[in-house]
Amino acid sequence: MPAVSAPANSTAKPAGRIRQKNEKAIIAAAEVEFARHGYKGTSMNSIAQAVGLPKANLHYYFSSKQGLYSAVLDNILSQWESALDAMTAEDDPAEALSRYIRAKVEFSRTQPLASRIFAMEVIGGGQALSEHYRHNHHEWFQGRTAVFQAWIDAGKMAHVDPAHLLFLLWSSTQHYADFTSQICLFTGKSSLKKADFEEAASNLERVILGGLGLTPPARG
């Protein structure tokens, strides 16, 4: 159970550091509940119980379930997007794409519930994502695909549609979180270990980079 320090009273704000710690713990507990039960099946009361707070104190940090759900989605997307933010047209595409593939596969290994929440949201129509995407997300997306296009224009990699390359990177890496049970069913494994994710990342490197005319970076 995440450790949460409740505010001393309903009017006094905790110090910024304590507030951030508490919000992080609440979001972590909410992520588990939303992944298990979906948005409709999750209540603020069940999240409060999971995090060890009275429901009234939970509302001190997040006034509504929708607001908390949006915070969970924002947290997921900010982590995914940060792995792309550092890419520039000056980077070596093989190195940059390799780092991204491995970062996303590692995210699937360490935070599978986050990926499943996102998948359920998209399958359900993505209404809650519209708020996130409304805030300059199209510009962010165009900026990322512009990096891919710059690599293509410079002759650094094969010509592909930059948007579809980004979709492929997202879907292939998230597959190992969203469809773990299917992978285990066909491979006969009871669960996926760290070595399985490392093998998956290496194979995605070879397939995706190879299709772009790139050679995966040598690894010691």
Question: Between 136 and 150, where is the model more confident?
Answer: 150
Question: Between 66 and 127, where is the model more confident?
Answer: 66
Q: What is the pTM of this model?
A: 0.82
On the question of pLDDT at 108 being above 80, the answer is yes
**pLDDT value, residue 78:** 85
**pLDDT value, residue 130:** 77
Computed on alpha carbons and rounded to an integer, the radius of gyration of the chain in Å comes to 20
**pLDDT value, residue 138:** 81
On the question of pLDDT at 4 being above 60, the answer is no
Domain ranges in the chain are 16-63, 72-211
Determine what percent of the chain is predicted with pLDDT higher than 90: 65
Just give the CATH number of 16-63.
1.10.10.60
Structure tokens at 209: 């980079």
**pLDDT value, residue 83:** 83
Q: Are residues 177 and 163 in contact, defined by beta-carbon separation less than 8 angstroms?
A: no
Just give the CATH number of 72-211.
1.10.357.10
What stretches of 62-218 show up as alpha helix (H) in DSSP? 65-85, 93-110, 112-123, 129-134, 137-153, 162-178, 180-187, 194-204, 210-211
